[in-house]
Amino acid sequence: MRRSPAQTVSTGPLRAYAQVIRECIPAAAVCAYGAVVEMHSVTLDRALEETRTGDVWLFRGHSGPDRAIQTLSNSPVNHVGMTVAIEDLPPLMWHAELGDKLTDVWTSTNHRGVQLNDAREAVERWLHRYGQRCWLRQLTPEADREQENRLLRVIARMDGTPFPSTARLTLRWLRGQLPTTYDWVRGIPVVDGYVRESTRRRSAEQRKGRFESAYCAETVAVTYEEMGLIETEKRSNWFDPGRFWSGDGLPLLAPYQLGSEIAVVAG
């Protein structure tokens, strides 16, 4: 079961600026039972001042498609993006979405699918235009220069990748939930190590190729794996936005961790 924010341990400097609010979490929104939990909150201005490369933005909406994603994936959220904050550039958001109203700063064009947008414009659009709620989780320790270089290579390779149709997205995600070869041999002496290494090599080769299409969680997962933040034998389509919620088991490599969710509000 994906846990509620009350069960998480927070890390990251943004927590020092957060205000504590009490919030009612309805049954089935995050867990099987309704609850009133403490949620930390910051303004968008403060979040943008403090966000760093690798931080995760999570969104929850109430439209039919949003609810469908949440229900299908048993997740409290339906969209995920990550911060790109390099040198003197303003914070950017790396994600994939159906909209094409924001300028992709990598290509200076407007297009659907995988894109790199101004983070303020992206969050404001999801808050106001789409009417979604937003949370930020901060990555610690900070990404280093080599990881940022890997990130830029992923952006150069994946930017502009189309967003899959609803049918293709559903089938793609469902296929990702099927057991992998490694799932069947896990724990078997000799075979375990051989299949694990073979699976990881194949996954690395696939990440370096061109994607026919990609959705939001897949984009962030591929980027995280290429940066050396996560390691998994799962396919990239195993990921959904809820995998980046604190109640799930995101396979982060030590010493990296994501802090608990901090609600981001306009203002």
pLDDT tens-digit profile of 199-258?
Answer: 666 666 665 657 899 999 999 999 999 999 998 888 889 999 999 999 788 999 999 999
Q: Which pTM was predicted?
A: 0.83
Contact 75, 2 (CB under 8 A): yes
pLDDT score for 248:
83
What CA–CA distance (Å, rounded) separates 83 from 228? Answer: 16
**pLDDT tens for each residue of 128-185:** 999 999 999 999 999 999 999 999 999 999 999 999 998 988 888 898 888 776 566 6
Asked if the model's pLDDT at residue 37 lies above 50, the reply is no
Amino acid occupying residue 20? V
Average pLDDT taken over every residue of the chain? 84
Cβ contact 140:12 at 8 Å: yes
d(CA 33, CA 24): 11
What's the confidence (pLDDT) of residue 196?
61
Strand 19-25 to 35-43 pairing: antiparallel
CA–CA–CA angle 48, 62, 135 (5° rounding): 25
**Fold of the domain spanning 5-265:** endopeptidase fold (from Nostoc punctiforme) (3.90.1720)
Give the integer Cα–Cα distance in Å for 244 and 59. 11
**Burial annotation 93-128 (CB, 10 A radius, 16+ → b, else e):** bbbbbebeebbbbbeeeebebbbbbbbbbbbebbbe
**What is the predicted pLDDT for the residue at 247?**
79
Strands 262-265 and 35-43: parallel
**Bridge partners, residue 20, by sequence:** 40
Kindly list the distances between the CA atom of residue 67 and the CA atoms of 13, 42, 81, in Å, as whole numbers in the listed order: 32, 25, 18
6-15, 80-89, 124-133, 213-222: which range is least confident on average?
6-15
pLDDT at residue 42, as a whole number:
94
Structural domain spans, the chain: 5-265
pLDDT average, residue stretch 66-88? 93
